[in-house]
Amino acid sequence: MLSGEFNSQQELEVLAERVKQELSGIDALGSVAVVITPQGLKLVIADSEKGPMFYRGGAKVTPFYQDLLLSLARLFSNIENKMIITGHTDASRFKGGRKTNWELSSNRANSARYYLDKGGLQERHIFQVSGMSDTAPIDLDNPKSGINRRIELYILTAETLRQLNEVYKEFPAFSFNEQKPPLNEHELDSLIDSSKQQAIREATRNQPTTPFEVMKRYD
């Protein structure tokens, strides 16, 4: 049984092989791509010869993929790495109604999370659940390709988790009423002009910068 935390490339290779063994045991190798990356282990779960992962136009998981997610949950339940779950759609649009691919991909990601939870993957294992609509297709030449409809599970290394926590860390405690008032038009024009001049001087010294980077110095 897998346990502990997997961070090095060698450890991720061991984890990947164990995942493949699990998939082989349930005849699901053709439904999941297992990819080792510097950030962790990525599992791409997509439609296959076993059928679609979701019933058409909805977020209900089909029986084969329910069992697949339950099996993966049992496999990952004792490891310490955090996981990101993302849902992806193809570029086809809904006809009529107010539902979009953003809602669909988010709902599908959460459905995958539900079955992982049901299989024993505890809430503490989940770092993020999100829908990405059709913004990250696998098949760039055919955005409506079925391969673009997928769920991705990303098992994060400790270093990747640390970096993400830096992105999402809490702001220092402050009151919204304590924020500086906005600049008036004259002050804003002066700031923009000053930042442009600074950017030109930086470029002249062969130290590339942008006006936006310069503006940060005035915060």
Confidence (pLDDT) at 204? 66
State the pLDDT at residue 86.
97
At 169-182, the pLDDT tens digits run 766 666 667 777 88
The residue whose two tokens read 């059928």 is 51
pLDDT at site 201: 74
CA distances from 44 to 87, 92, 95, 96 (A): 10, 20, 28, 30
pLDDT at 189 (0 to 100): 87
Task: Identify which has the larger pLDDT, 197 or 53.
Answer: 53
214: confidence class by pLDDT, cuts 50, 70, 90 = very low
Cα–Cα–Cα angle for 94, 97, 98, rounded to 5 degrees: 90
**Residue of 21, 67, 25, 16 whose CA lies nearest to 44:** 16
In this structure, of 62-66, 149-153, 165-169, the range with the lowest mean pLDDT score is 165-169
Question: Range with the lowest mean pLDDT among 116-120, 140-144, 150-154, 156-160?
Answer: 140-144
Distance CA 177, CA 194 (A): 28
How far apart CA 55 and CA 180 sit, in angstroms, is: 51
Q: How confident is the model at residue 203 (pLDDT cuts 50, 70, 90)?
A: low
If pLDDT is split at 50, 70 and 90, which confidence band does 57 have? confident
pLDDT score for 51: 94
Residue 60 burial (CB count, 10 A): 12
Question: What three-state secondary structure class fits 109?
Answer: helix
Which pLDDT band, with edges at 50, 70 and 90, does 50 fall under? very high
Q: For residues 59 and 81, what is the distance between their CA atoms, to the nearest angstrom?
A: 26
Nearest to 83 by CA among 118, 112, 49, 105: 112
Entry pTM: 0.79
| Cα Rg of the chain (Å, integer) | 23
Asked which of 35-44, 88-97, 145-154 is least confident by mean pLDDT, the reply is 88-97
Question: Distance (Å, rounded) from C-alpha 81 to C-alpha 64?
Answer: 26
Over residues 108-137, mean pLDDT:
95
Neighbouring C-alpha atoms within 13 Å toward the C-beta of 102 = 1
Q: What is the rounded average pLDDT for all residues in the chain? A: 88
For range 152-157, the mean pLDDT: 98
User: According to the model, what pLDDT value does residue 81 have?
Assistant: 97
The token pair at 130 is 């999100």
In this predicted structure, the answer to whether residue 8 has a pLDDT above a threshold of 70 is: yes
How high is the pLDDT of residue 175?
67
Is residue 213 over pLDDT 50?
no
